[in-house]
Structure 1
């Protein structure tokens, strides 16, 4: 197995771990047990795994789109799928409340309504 394929598998496993931790945190949130020790640990590791995932994806993007190399296109199905899911993950996990609450444009729209 090539290093590139192993790297894609590592990214995929990291994504699965992140999704599992997110589901567990959501479960504890629904049960109203967000201040428990186990949920605090889940949130802690969820944030770290998300950071690792973003870092791995950034390295993959640098590798795939490096203008200094003349290698052939490595965008196979798995890489396209990972980039596609990475876009959705960034949109879902973005800090939207910071953007909406602190934006002067949104404050202007709220005041005008």
Structure 2
């Protein structure tokens, strides 16, 4: 298994409250990419929200391959949105993208 950092972009169609944002972040916290070397080095944020409603959720996923990792990331993010009270039409998701891969191999010279 490989650890992937996946970015899932989207748009909050009707905006969102600070409470909803905090709830989404709380639900995604176990998949925070800051737990990986890439997330720590790049200072990746779990959830970035722009004023116009566009957002990017970045999650850490263990998977056998890229496709499985992207699928799992979308499942996690859509679940966090739904469990925070947002309907599918309230937060439209874009295509997931691999932001980084952490193989766990140290390459010291």
Q: TM-score range by the shorter chain?
A: under 0.3
Q: Which has the larger radius of gyration?
A: 1
The higher-RCO structure (CA 8 Å, 6+ apart) is 2
TM-score w.r.t. the length of structure 2 is 0.27
The structure carrying a bigger strand percent of its residues is 2
The structure carrying a bigger helix percent of its residues is 1
The two structures have a TM-score, normalised by structure 1, of 0.26
